[in-house]
Structure 1
Amino acid sequence: MFSAHAATALALVDSYGAVAVFAVFALEGALVGKVLPARTLFVAAVVAAGVEALAVLPVFAAAVIGATVGQSVVFVAVRRFDVDPTSLPLVPVGDGVIDGVSRWFDRWGLPAVAASNAVPGTRGWLAVPTANASAVSAPRFAAASLVGSAAYVGALLAVGVAVALGFGSAAEFLGAEWVAAL
């Protein structure tokens, strides 16, 4: 019933917990992990942890901090070492995307970093143009990245809790033995 991504995500969460969430979100933040199932992994981790706040807090923190660390690594690599991550085949960001997000940053400034991190599909892409074409410091970039990532992961947390509660309702409705067989 579950896809291969969901099965892999559950296996990672089962074996490594919040460390797996941190690693996958750090790779996603570094633009390298866009092919990894970060959203699926996070929702699976929330479902596995349950819906209590103390149980999901480490998963939430691992995702937000991981994404922020990954984006900050890209920012520093571009700024200090003149690295062009878009030239790597692992980074699925084309020149048109970079031009578009550069215009977005030029118009809105640092709040655009937070806003882009809250939107699936554009997460992390402002790290390259912000590092190249602005005087924004690394700590200010990291703070904006953290705010946007927290909003994004908060929305994923809501999805994860809804899924977890849905599984609980399905277990009650169908009988725990049938759901356990899934």
Structure 2
Amino acid sequence: MFGSHAAAALAFVDSYGAVAVFVVFALEGALVGKVLPARTLFVAAIVAVGVEAVAVLPVFAAAVVGATVGQSAVFVAVRRFGVDPTSLAVVPVGEGRLDGAGRWFDRWGLPAVAASNAVPGTRGWLAVPTANASSVSAPRFAAASLVGSAAYVGALLAVGIAVALGFGGALGLLGAEMAAL
């Protein structure tokens, strides 16, 4: 019924809860290769905890804060220590993509950071060119990162709730069918 990633994500969330979501999103934010696909883990976490606001809020917060912490760590590492994340094998972003991200930032500024964080596939790329070629402070970068990550995770939350309700409805129908037998 579940794919292997979804099953592993459910087991991970069941064992470690929102901490697992925080760690995976922090690694994704830091441009480090994915331990588990963050989107799959997040949706699995929503399915695991249910759709009540009290249960969903810690998972949502863990994902947003984790992504922001990871991206801020990259920003600070580049700005303060001159780290070049593209030289690391675990970072799946090439120099060419960073050049394109730099042009986005040159044209749009901090709103480009928020917008890129809201779009799958470009999340976190602007941390490096923003740190290298701008006078943006770390707190302002973190705020823009947080806004974009909240939009991204909000969209994932909608998907997670739809999946959770879909599974719940399907399980309810299955239960009614089994009871009728």
Band of TM-score, shorter chain:
over 0.9
Aligned counterparts of 1:73 and 1:94: Cα–Cα separation in 2 = 19
Cα deviation, 1:1-29, whole Å, max 9, x if unaligned, reads: 21111111011100000000000000000
Q: AA paired with 1:14? A: D
Where does residue 65 of structure 1 map in the other structure?
65
CA RMSD between the two structures: 1.3
Distance 1:33 1:96 in 2: 18
Q: TM-score, normalised on structure 2?
A: 0.95
Change in Cα spacing, 1:125 to 1:35, as seen in structure 2 (3 Å) is farther
Give the match for residue 81 of structure 1: 81
Q: Offset at 1:177?
A: 8.9
CA 1:143 to 1:172, structure 2 compared with 1: closer, same or farther past 3 Å? same
2:40 is the counterpart of 1:46: no
Name the TM-score, length of structure 1 as normaliser.
0.95
Query: 2 CA distance for matches of 1:34 and 1:144?
Result: 23
Q: SS of the residue aligned with 2:33?
A: helix
Question: Partner amino acid for 1:36?
Answer: L
Structure 2: give runs of 5+ residues left out of the alignment.
none
Aligned-pair identity (%): 86
Partner Cα separation in structure 2 for residue 135 and residue 36 of structure 1: 34
Q: CA deviation at 1:159?
A: 0.2
User: Cα–Cα, structure 1 residues 9 and 107, in superposed 2: closer, same or farther, change >3 Å?
Assistant: same
**Offset of residue 87 of structure 1:** 0.6
Count of equivalent residues: 178
Counterparts of 2:10 and 2:73 in 1: how far apart (Å)?
A: 27
Aligned to 2:130: 130
Distance in structure 1 (CA, Å) of the matches to 2:114 and 2:33: 19
CA contact (8 A) 2:24 2:35 kept: no
